C-alpha cells in the first residue's frame, strides 16, 4: 500500500508533498498507510476536499493532523472545551461564544494597533547592526503580541509558551516530552483563567467567561484552559510561519516582490495568493468517517479515516490555472488554506489583517531586503504540523 505523501520534492521546499499531482489525476480517493498506524483515504482534488470538509458525516475528533503522529491515540476522549475536536452542537456552541471576537468589524478595529506593532519592529530592525533573523526579530513577535493582547496573556511569558508551542506542533517528539509540555502549558493557562475568573479585564478570555455566564451555561476551568491554549498556539504559530516563509518566497520571486513593493494596494490579494501557494498546514486535515460516504467510484465506510489534503487542493489546476506559480494578481480568495466548513479557521480575518499590514510595510520600508546566507542553508520545518523556516537571516543596504 502507498504511504501517506508527506515528503516534499527534493530541492523544492515550496512544493507540496511529492505525488499529489499524480493523485489529482486519478479517478478518486486513494487509500494510504499513515504514520499513526492506520490506513486512510486521501482526497487531493479541490472540489473533493471542499466537499468533505463541509460534510457532517465526518468527525474532527483527532484534528487537525493526528495521522502524521506515530502511534497517535486516535480514540482519546475529546475534551469538552476543544473547539478543534468537538463536532455538532457542542462545537457550534463553542464557536458561537467566540465568533464575535473575530468578526471583520472587530478585527478591523485592531488594524491600527497591528500597524503600530509592524512599524515599531521595523524601526528596531533598521536600527540594528548587521544581519537579523527575520523570524525572531519580526515574524514571531508581531502575531505573538497581537494574540497575547487579545487574550490577556502577559507578553513577558512569551518565551515559555512559544517554546512549548513549538514542541506541541512537532510530529516527532518523544511522547513523554509532549505530555510534560502539554501539562505545563495547561497549568500556566489554568493560572491565567483563575485570575480572570477572580477579576475580569478587557480581554477575550474575560469576555468569554462573562458571555457564557450571561447565557446561563458557564464554561468550566478545563474548558476555558482548552480554548485559551488553542487560541494562543493557533494565533501566533500559523501567522508567524506565513510571514517568514512568504518573505522567502517573494525574495525568490523578485518580479512579484517588486509588484507588491510598488503597489501596496496589492497586499490583500498577495495575502490570499501566498496563503494558497504555501498552505502551511502542510499535512492536511484528518477526519473520522461516521457514516458511509460515497466519493467518486468509491464508498468510504463508516469507521474508516480520511485526509483532506489542503496543499493539494490549493494546487488544483482546474481551479487555479498555473497553480505551481505564485501570482500576486491572482484572485485566490477561494483557497483552502483556512480549511472549509464548520471547522474553518476562526481567526482567519485576524491572520489576513496581520499579513496585509506586513506585506504593505516590510518591503517598502526595507526595499533592499535580501538573504544574508545562501538559500541552500535555510532550514525548513519538515517535521511540524505548520510549515515554515527555523530562521531567516536577512540583511539590507544601510
Q: How confident is the model at residue 14 (pLDDT cuts 50, 70, 90)?
A: very high
Q: Assign domain 20-395 one CATH number from 3.40.50.720, 3.40.50.10330, 1.10.630.10, 1.10.150.170.
A: 1.10.630.10
**What is the residue-averaged pLDDT of the chain?**
94
Q: pLDDT digit string (tens) for 217-262?
A: 999 999 999 999 999 999 889 999 999 999 999 999 999 999 999 9
What is the structure's pLDDT at 1? 64
Sequence ranges of the domains in the chain: 20-395
Three-class HEC string of the chain: CCECCCCCCCCCCCCCCCCHHHHHCCCCCEEEECCCCCEEEEECCHHHHHHHHCCCCEECCCCCCHHHCCCCCCCCCCCCCCCCCCCHHHHHHHHHHHHHHHCHHHHHHHHHHHHHHHHHHHHHHHCCCCCEEHHHHHHCHHHHHHHHHHHCCCHHHHHHHHHHHHHHCECCCCHHHHHHHHHHHHHHHHHHHHHHHHCCCCCHHHHHHHHHHHCCCCCCHHHHHHHHHHHHHHHHHHHHHHHHHHHHHHHHCHHHHHHHHHCHHHHHHHHHHHHHHHCCECCCEEEEECCCEEECCEEECCCCEEEECHHHHCCCCCCCCCCCCCCCCCCCCCCCCCCCHHHCCCCHHHHHHHHHHHHHHHHHHCCCCEECCCHHHCCECCCECECCECCCEEECCC
Amino acid at each position: 500500500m502507498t504511504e501517506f505523501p508527506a515528503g516534499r520534492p527534493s530541492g523544492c521546499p515550496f512544493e507540496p508533498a511529492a505525488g499529489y499531482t499524480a493523485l489529482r489525476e486519478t479517478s478518486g480517493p486513494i487509500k494510504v498507510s499513515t504514520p499513526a498506524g492506520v490506513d486512510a483515504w486521501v482526497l487531493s482534488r479541490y472540489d473533493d476536499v471542499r466537499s468533505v470538509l463541509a460534510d457532517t458525516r465526518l468527525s474532527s475528533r483527532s484534528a487537525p493532523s493526528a495521522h502524521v503522529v506515530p502511534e497517535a491515540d486516535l480514540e482519546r476522549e475529546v475534551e469538552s472545551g476543544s473547539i478543534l475536536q468537538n463536532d455538532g452542537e457542542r462545537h457550534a456552541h463553542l464557536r458561537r461564544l467566540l465568533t464575535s471576537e473575530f468578526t471583520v468589524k472587530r478585527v478591523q478595529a485592531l488594524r491600527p494597533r497591528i500597524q503600530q506593532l509592524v512599524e515599531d519592529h521595523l524601526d528596531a530592525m533598521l536600527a540594528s547592526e548587521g544581519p537579523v533573523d527575520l523570524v525572531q526579530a519580526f515574524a514571531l513577535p508581531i502575531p505573538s503580541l497581537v494574540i497575547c493582547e487579545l487574550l490577556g496573556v502577559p507578553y513577558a511569558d512569551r518565551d515559555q509558551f512559544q517554546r512549548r508551542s513549538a514542541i506541541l506542533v512537532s510530529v516527532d517528539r518523544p511522547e513523554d516530552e509532549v505530555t510534560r509540555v502539554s501539562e505545563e502549558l495547561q497549568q500556566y493557562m489554568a493560572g491565567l483563567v483563575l485570575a480572570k475568573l477572580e477579576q475580569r479585564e478587557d480581554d477575550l478570555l474575560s469576555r468569554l467567561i462573562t458571555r457564557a455566564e450571561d447565557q446561563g451555561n458557564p464554561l468550566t476551568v478545563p474548558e476555558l484552559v482548552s480554548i485559551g491554549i488553542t487560541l494562543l498556539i493557533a494565533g501566533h504559530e500559523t501567522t508567524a510561519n506565513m510571514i517568514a516563509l512568504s518573505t522567502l518566497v517573494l525574495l525568490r520571486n523578485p518580479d512579484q516582490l517588486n509588484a507588491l513593493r510598488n503597489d501596496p494596494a496589492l497586499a490583500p490579494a498577495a495575502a490570499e495568493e501566498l496563503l494558497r501557494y504555501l498552505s502551511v498546514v502542510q499535512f492536511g486535515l484528518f477526519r473520522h468517517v461516521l457514516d458511509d460516504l460515497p466519493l467518486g467510484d468509491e464508498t468510504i465506510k463508516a469507521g474508516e479515516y480520511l485526509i483532506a489534503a489542503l496543499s493539494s487542493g490549493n494546487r488544483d489546476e482546474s481551479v487555479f490555472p498555473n497553480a505551481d506559480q505564485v501570482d500576486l494578481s491572482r484572485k485566490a480568495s477561494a483557497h483552502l488554506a483556512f480549511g472549509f466548513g464548520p471547522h474553518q479557521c476562526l481567526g482567519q480575518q485576524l491572520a489576513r489583517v496581520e499579513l496585509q499590514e506586513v506585506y504593505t510595510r516590510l518591503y517598502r520600508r526595507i526595499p533592499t531586503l535580501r538573504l544574508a546566507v545562501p538559500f541552500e542553508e535555510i532550514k525548513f520545518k519538515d517535521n511540524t504540523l505548520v510549515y515554515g523556516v527555523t530562521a531567516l537571516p536577512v540583511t539590507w543596504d544601510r
